[in-house]
């Protein structure tokens, strides 16, 4: 079978591997679509947040089909379409799928049913490949009280996580404003159903948001992790508002007026991953019918993984780049 591997840092190769085998407690998955994530670039660069051994097959944003079922497996059948969580508990250690253990950028792989979720018919493969990032955005909203049609949500940062966070808030009925300097991202936010967008490079973002919200947002999702976004995030919130910090910024320092948390009586929550929300997030997508397809801007065959990874780095040209595996 074909597989994408990072042979060593900065070395990406599509190669042939032997077919895997399953034991009685596993299922065989035919991988269908796999999204490229920002963290995949960190893995390729040799800079991931946990120790990694190379070679490794990346791919943690995926959708696949069950093609073989182990004798002891219950609740899954051949033909089921599934997605899988990223943090995998094994007797030996906690693994990160696609990082400390091989991921989904290969035609077939073995998986344990405990970390798989069946997809309903209403969620197609294109949406299925976005389930993992969507769960992160859904979690960022839900971890800080959720939202509803009475509220305004500001999302600072219009990359994949910012856009799926916006989609979750839109699906909950909130008025949503997305702040991002990239025209492509602002356009996608509007296509998803955002009520307004702000270009921070063309106007004073805080003044624009304050005017639009008449005093600040009920909930702010910081999804950029950039200094300019983080410097403004507390100003976007109203008094007694909530702020969810989901954008990643580790190992960097810059001035932020933390006294605003106290002065405005803000509730600030940090968010990482999407623990415990996968079934709810899948039901949410099924029942709301939210169309996430505008986020998925490009699709490549597995053989073209190199050009796909090159394009995915160009924020002005692409948002979510997906590899079509089978």
Asked if 26 and 116 sit in the same domain, the reply is: yes
Asked if 123 and 152 sit in the same domain, the reply is: no
Asked if 124 and 162 sit in the same domain, the reply is: no
Percent of the chain residues past pLDDT 70, beyond the cut: 100
Asked if 192 and 222 sit in the same domain, the reply is: yes
The mean pLDDT of the chain is 95
Q: How far apart are CA 244 and CA 222, in angstroms?
A: 6
In a domain, 316, yes or no: yes
User: Over 90: is that where the pLDDT of 2 sits?
Assistant: yes
Helix (H) or strand (E) holding 287: helix 278-288
139-142-148-152 Cα dihedral, nearest 10 degrees: -70
Coil, helix or strand at residue 302: helix
Asked if 147 and 226 sit in the same domain, the reply is: yes
In a domain, 122, yes or no: yes
Asked if 22 and 122 sit in the same domain, the reply is: yes
Coil, helix or strand at residue 137: helix
In a domain, 278, yes or no: no
Asked if 118 and 101 sit in the same domain, the reply is: yes
Q: How far apart are CA 229 and CA 301, in angstroms?
A: 35
Asked whether the CA dihedral 29, 33, 36, 37 is positive or negative, the reply is negative
In a domain, 287, yes or no: no
Asked if 104 and 143 sit in the same domain, the reply is: no
Q: How far apart are CA 34 and CA 125, in angstroms?
A: 10
In a domain, 164, yes or no: yes
| pLDDT of the residue at 188 | 98
Domain of 30, CATH number, reads 3.90.180.10
Q: How far apart are CA 300 and CA 201, in angstroms?
A: 32
Stronger pLDDT, 252 or 18, i.e. the higher one: 18
**C-alpha distances out from residue 100 to 87, 97, 213, 278, Å:** 10, 6, 44, 21
Asked if 306 and 253 sit in the same domain, the reply is: no
132-324-58-67 Cα dihedral, nearest 10 degrees: 80
Residue 301 half-sphere exposure, CB side, CA atoms within 13 Å? 3
| pLDDT of the residue at 93 | 85
At 250, list the tokens.
């580790």
Residue whose C-alpha is closest to residue 17's, from 4, 29, 27, 8: 4
Asked if 91 and 171 sit in the same domain, the reply is: no
Domain of 205, CATH number, reads 3.40.50.720
In a domain, 19, yes or no: yes
pLDDT digits (tens, 9 = 90+) for 22-47: 999 999 999 999 999 999 999 999 98
In a domain, 38, yes or no: yes
Q: How far apart are CA 149 and CA 147, in angstroms?
A: 7
Q: Could you tell me the residue range of the domain that residue 301 belongs to?
A: 2-130+292-324
Asked if 39 and 144 sit in the same domain, the reply is: no
The answer to whether 133 and 285 are in contact (CB under 8 A) is no
Residue whose C-alpha is closest to residue 231's, from 197, 262, 260: 260
Total number of domains in the chain: 2
In a domain, 283, yes or no: no
pLDDT digits (tens, 9 = 90+) for 166-178: 999 999 999 999 9
Asked if 49 and 152 sit in the same domain, the reply is: no
User: Over 90: is that where the pLDDT of 228 sits?
Assistant: no
């Amino acid at each position: 079978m074909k597989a994408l591997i990072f042979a060593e840092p900065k070395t990406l190769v599509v190669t042939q591997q032997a077919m895997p085998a399953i034991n009685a407690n596993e299922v065989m998955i035919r991988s269908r679509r796999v999204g490229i994530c920002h963290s995949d670039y960190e893995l390729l660069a040799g800079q991931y947040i946990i120790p990694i051994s190379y070679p490794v097959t990346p791919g943690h944003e995926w959708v696949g089909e069950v093609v073989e079922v182990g004798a002891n497996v219950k609740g899954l059948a051949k033909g089921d379409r599934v997605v899988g969580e990223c943090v995998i508990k094994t007797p030996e250690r906690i693994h990160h799928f696609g990082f400390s253990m091989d991921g989904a950028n290969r035609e077939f792989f073995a998986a344990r049913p405990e970390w798989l979720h069946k997809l309903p018919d209403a969620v197609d493969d294109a949406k299925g490949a976005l389930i993992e990032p969507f769960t992160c955005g859904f979690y960022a909203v839900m971890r800080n009280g959720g939202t509803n049609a009475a509220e305004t949500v500001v999302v600072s940062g219009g990359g994949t996580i910012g856009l799926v966070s916006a989609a979750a808030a839109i699906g909950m009925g909130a008025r949503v404003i997305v702040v991002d300097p990239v025209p492509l991202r602002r356009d996608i936010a509007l296509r998803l159903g955002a009520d307004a967008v702000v270009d921070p490079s063309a106007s004073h973002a805080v003044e624009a948001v304050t005017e639009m919200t008449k005093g600040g947002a009920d909930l702010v999702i910081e999804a950029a992790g950039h200094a300019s976004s983080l410097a403004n995030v507390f100003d976007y919130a109203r008094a007694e508002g909530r702020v969810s910090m989901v954008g990643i910024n580790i190992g960097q320092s810059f001035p932020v007026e933390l006294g605003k948390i106290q002065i405005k009586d803000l509730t600030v929550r940090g968010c990482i991953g999407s623990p415990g929300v996968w079934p709810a997030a899948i039901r949410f997508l099924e029942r709301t019918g939210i169309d996430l397809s505008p986020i998925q801007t490009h699709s490549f065959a597995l053989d073209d993984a190199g050009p796909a990874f090159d394009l995915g780095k160009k924020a002005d040209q692409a948002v979510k780049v997906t590899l079509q595996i089978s």
